[in-house]
Structure 1
Amino acid sequence: MRASAFHITTLKEAPNDAEITSHRLMMRSGMIRKLAGGIYNYMPLGLRVIRKVEHIIRQEMDAAGALELLMPVVQPAELWMESGRWEQYGPELLRMKDRHGRDFVLQPTSEEVITDIARNEIQSWRQLPVNFYHIQTKFRDERRPRFGVMRGREFTMKDAYSFDRDVASAQKSYQVMFDAYMKIFSRMGLTFRAVSADTGSIGGSQSHEFQVIADIGEDLIVYDPASSYAANIELAPAPCLLTQRQAASAPLTPTPTPGAAKCEAVAELLGTPLSQTVKSIVLATDPEKGPAQVWLLLLRGDHELNEIKTGKVPGLNKGFRFATEAEIIEHFGCKPGYLGPVKMVKPVKVIADLTVANMHNFICGANQEDFHLTGVNWARDLPEPDLITDLRNVVEGDQAPDGKGTLAIQRGIEVGHVFYLGTKYSEALKATFLDEGGKPALMEMGCYGIGVTRIVGAAIEQNHDAKGIVWPRAIAPFEVAICAVGWGKSQAVRDAAEALYAELKAKGVDVILDDRDLRPGIMFAEWELIGPPVRITVGERGLNDGVIELLGRKQTEAARVPLSDCCTQTLALLETY
């Protein structure tokens, strides 16, 4: 590839709406151009990266025995109605009608369609196991698309779906895909973690996320540096921090706390640790008939509510919302900010976090504006909670689940997710096969997704510097850029650059020859921004000494290398990327 024949259009400044590094660098390097909110054109440079990502995915999926097919972007609503997700999925599912008034969706995922294929194509146990995958455009109507390709509305995803005879074989298929994903992300040169995760709207009973480690990541990864334990913070169990509840040793006292509506302000005002306060979170559930049920959740003041765990609490597991101010006043006799579990106006369901249930002499709202209660104790001052359970996010330093190590937290960007679905979709869509005894049985399913375009953004977030992108070799748009300085003036430069270009291509290197005759400073700055792992500079002055300059993207100084040895040393340098 010659630069004069390639579309290279870099920008000195990124658009104002480019919020994070990957978005800014993808715009500046000319990889993407915005068409609408969360929708981008992938320019030739960006598409080269995407195709390399896809190539690695295909190779490992094929090696794992998966079969590629292609499902449509547009799906009939009937399938989503069969699965129950037509109502459940929410506004991210873009619904539309054709000219005949029939309902369709733009696919955000393909569980329904692949299950429809399976129920029509698979009749016998002899056809199982099978794993189908495709790489296809997806669309999720995000309320606020942001961060460029990291949270766009239209994106490319690889999704695979396994079908098995029983749970044991389905678990084997799950492990095969888990191992394939480990190989995929390793080959891409990414630093990542596989973490246990919640199954979310996809459903199922087991899942792992593959998280690229990056400071900008939206997900918090909890891990034990001394073991293999890692989990998304949504799923990580938070231990009780108090081994047992101590006896009451302070009187229950209404204490003025004017203007202190948050635990942090109360602790500061009273000169007490934040860990001695208890925060009140009021939720409501709406039964089919009758008034709403109000719930009071209690957490230590320095802890945060985990809504995923909350959504699994009996009574809250069918959906909950935050209570309205009117509901709060009705049950507590006070506006939010000074709420607590002592002497409520109307009874509510009280759920205490594990740690709160063992606290004593704690501080909570008095259900009176500008007042809190100090010296609050269970049993003496208020009844035992209706339920004691894990409600909070873990924090750095919490004990690991095995009881041996302590937990650390880092940020990650989810780029892959594997799920064991069981019969969630096969039962809803009646996808059965005849077992060895000739009886119908439900197929056991798994699903496995990789965000192809999201990987590009995640790789940049993990691999960049002040000058631009620093690509891992496996997914770089070009592995090597040959910068021919003085192309238009020197036949020697042209001959040497052409010969080196041909030699590297013959060795299988993805190389671009920059023959645009630009000033060196402009040329170098563009390739530092675009980020190929290796840059070779061919100039007349160096050729007079029989050398060229070889520079790795992570290096600060170029090495002067004999022209005759350039190809060998370039290949060696590429191995470090």
Structure 2
Amino acid sequence: MRLSRYFLPTIKENPSEAQVVSHRLMLRSGMILQSSAGIYSWLPLGTRVLKNVERIIRQEQNRAGAYEVIMPTIQSADLWMESGRYNAYGDEMLRIKDRQERDMLYSPTAEEVVTDIGRKFMKSYRDLPQMLYQINWKFRDEIRPRFGVMRGREFLMKDCYSFDLNFEDAQKSYRTMMEAYMRTFTRLGLKAVPVRASSGPIGGDMSHEFQILANTGESLIYYDADLEKLMETETFDIEHLMGLYAADEEMHDAKNCPVPQDRLKSKRGIEVGHVFYLGTKYSDPLKAHIIDKGGQNITVHMGCYGIGVSRLVAAIIEASHDDVGIVWPASVAPFDVALLNLKPDDEKCTKASDDLYLKLQQHCLDVLYDDRSERSGVKFATHDLIGLPWQIRFGSRSLESNTYELKNRRTGEVLENVSWDNLIDAIKGPHKSCCS
């Protein structure tokens, strides 16, 4: 992508309305634009990141055995009246009427709709277990939307729902999704602590919030240091994971904490996911029944598993930035590498930069090519702001020596006189295969 043609409306100064780092940097880097209170347009750079986050989440949901569906964002109030939640949900639900004066709503969540799917098509124990998920927009009319997409009214969410024969099978689905969540956050370059959460009126202890460690987090959490070791891997002992202590400030009991002081850590966190055993809360009132092996009519056990996809983009920035801009993990970065032509008025340098741009693309790299007629300092500032993992700075010295200057955005290290082979090895790492 040539930056001279790309739609990237960056801003030099910090917007006055932005209170947190992620909101400031998303506005400044041209990722989003506020449409109305708590509602944002996602611009090209932001959309690319959002799609990358979405792709990883989808891959791990599929790997866990869940099947993707798309449920309506505009729902009939009838289902919510059947479950008993229509009047109980509160003012966060946007209630509307269609032209026939039927009560409708903009979906804040989808338990009723997915339970309706289950009760119509899952009739026998042979139809279970099942897990259905979607990645879809939702709306909750927050009384005070703030912090950009971190606490907006309209948001992109992954919500998954499990259907099982009994509590024991529901536990298996729960553990499967716990493992999928840990893999997901690890691939996103994040440290996610599963914090035991209150199950409210449902009872039991199968409810966890996933908190991303970030200095600017809203919550203070306490956790066993052994959790950090688990965060570094993509293979998890779920029983061990669920047995380790983690609690937020409200739930933490300093006097009775089971973790020795030398292993107890405390950091701030941002909630980005929640897994929850629902039991028969929705399947009972909506009559989601199946025939078991003994021929008995029984109620399905359910679980729900949510990830705030758009919120995750902001959380990644909160956890990964510096004084000059965003520092994207390679897995979600909008482009793999930035190519900066430092001598755009030099015909030979421009020809060599153009050739390098094509050559990088032939090696399966997604390149943002800064071919603008701007000073080097302006280009450096732009690319430090948008935070791509690597910057190739091509100027007169590169042209003369046939080598490259390469900056690692995360470490800030600038390597000079890098050969072509070493350049590709550094950017692509161990994944050197080329696209077909």
Q: Deviations over 1:513-561 (max 9, x none)?
A: 1112221111110010000010001112331122221000123341113
For 1:261, the equivalent position in structure 2 comes to none
Counterparts of 1:152 and 1:500, CA distance in 2: 41
TM-score, structure 1 as length reference: 0.69
Which amino acid in structure 2 is aligned with residue 538 of structure 1?
A: F
Which amino acid in structure 1 is aligned with residue 62 of structure 2?
A: D
Q: Using the TM superposition, name which of 73-82 and 29-38 deviates more.
A: 73-82
Change (3 A) 1:560 1:122: same
Which amino acid in structure 1 is aligned with residue 101 of structure 2?
A: G
Matching of residues 41-440 of structure 1 within 5 Å: 41-199=41-199, 206-225=206-225, 228-236=244-252, 238=253, 394=254, 398-401=255-258, 407-440=264-297
Counterparts of 2:320 and 2:25, CA distance in 1: 11
Counterparts of 1:504 and 1:124, CA distance in 2: 54
* Mapped pair 1:485 → 2:320: no
Counterparts of 2:263 and 2:58, CA distance in 1: 38
Counterparts of 1:195 and 1:75, CA distance in 2: 32
Displacement of 1:87 in angstroms is 2.2
For 1:15, the equivalent position in structure 2 comes to 15
Which amino acid in structure 1 is aligned with residue 3 of structure 2?
A: A
Given that 1:224 and 1:230 are in contact with CA atoms closer than 8 Å, whether structure 2 keeps it comes out as yes
Given that 2:210 and 2:271 are in contact with CA atoms closer than 8 Å, whether structure 1 keeps it comes out as yes
Displacement of 1:200 in angstroms is 5.5
Counterparts of 1:434 and 1:46, CA distance in 2: 47
Displacement of 1:82 in angstroms is 1.4
Displacement of 1:505 in angstroms is 2.4
Counterparts of 2:429 and 2:57, CA distance in 1: 25
Which amino acid in structure 1 is aligned with residue 159 of structure 2?
A: D
Counterparts of 1:79 and 1:220, CA distance in 2: 38
Change (3 A) 1:75 1:161: same
Counterparts of 1:422 and 1:563, CA distance in 2: 59
Displacement of 1:166 in angstroms is 1.0
Given that 1:204 and 1:421 are in contact with CA atoms closer than 8 Å, whether structure 2 keeps it comes out as no
Matching of residues 439-454 of structure 1 within 5 Å: 439-454=296-311
Which amino acid in structure 1 is aligned with residue 18 of structure 2?
A: A
Q: Deviations over 1:158-217 (max 9, x none)?
A: 000000111111110111100000000000001221111123699875211111111222
What secondary structure does 1:86 align onto? coil
Q: CA RMSD in A?
A: 2.1
Counterparts of 1:549 and 1:573, CA distance in 2: 21
Counterparts of 1:198 and 1:495, CA distance in 2: 62
- Count how many residue pairs are aligned between Structure 1 and Structure 2: 415
What secondary structure does 2:331 align onto? helix
* Mapped pair 1:546 → 2:402: yes
Counterparts of 1:415 and 1:234, CA distance in 2: 18
Displacement of 1:408 in angstroms is 4.2
Displacement of 1:404 in angstroms is 7.8
Which amino acid in structure 2 is aligned with residue 436 of structure 1?
A: K
Counterparts of 1:137 and 1:204, CA distance in 2: 30
For 2:3, the equivalent position in structure 1 comes to 3
Q: Which ranges of structure 1 fall in alignment gaps of 5 or more residues?
A: 239-393
Counterparts of 1:451 and 1:67, CA distance in 2: 18
Larger radius of gyration: 1
Matching of residues 515-526 of structure 1 within 5 Å: 515-526=371-382
Counterparts of 1:571 and 1:561, CA distance in 2: 18
Counterparts of 1:544 and 1:190, CA distance in 2: 41
Counterparts of 2:392 and 2:202, CA distance in 1: 48
1:514 to 335, 347, 370: 370
What secondary structure does 1:559 align onto? strand
Change (3 A) 1:429 1:462: same
Given that 1:534 and 1:573 are in contact with CA atoms closer than 8 Å, whether structure 2 keeps it comes out as no
Counterparts of 1:113 and 1:100, CA distance in 2: 21
Given that 1:205 and 1:421 are in contact with CA atoms closer than 8 Å, whether structure 2 keeps it comes out as no
Which amino acid in structure 1 is aligned with residue 396 of structure 2?
A: E
Counterparts of 2:412 and 2:118, CA distance in 1: 55
What secondary structure does 2:283 align onto? helix
Given that 1:221 and 1:412 are in contact with CA atoms closer than 8 Å, whether structure 2 keeps it comes out as yes
Q: Deviations over 1:368-390 (max 9, x none)?
A: xxxxxxxxxxxxxxxxxxxxxxx
Counterparts of 2:307 and 2:179, CA distance in 1: 14
Which amino acid in structure 2 is aligned with residue 504 of structure 1?
A: L
Counterparts of 2:317 and 2:386, CA distance in 1: 11
Q: Using the TM superposition, name which of 88-97 and 41-50 deviates more.
A: 88-97
Given that 1:125 and 1:165 are in contact with CA atoms closer than 8 Å, whether structure 2 keeps it comes out as yes
Displacement of 1:225 in angstroms is 3.2
For 2:230, the equivalent position in structure 1 comes to none
Change (3 A) 1:552 1:573: farther
Displacement of 1:121 in angstroms is 1.2
Q: Which ranges of structure 2 fall in alignment gaps of 5 or more residues?
A: 228-243
Given that 1:203 and 1:421 are in contact with CA atoms closer than 8 Å, whether structure 2 keeps it comes out as no
Displacement of 1:233 in angstroms is 3.3
Counterparts of 1:490 and 1:540, CA distance in 2: 11
Counterparts of 1:542 and 1:506, CA distance in 2: 20
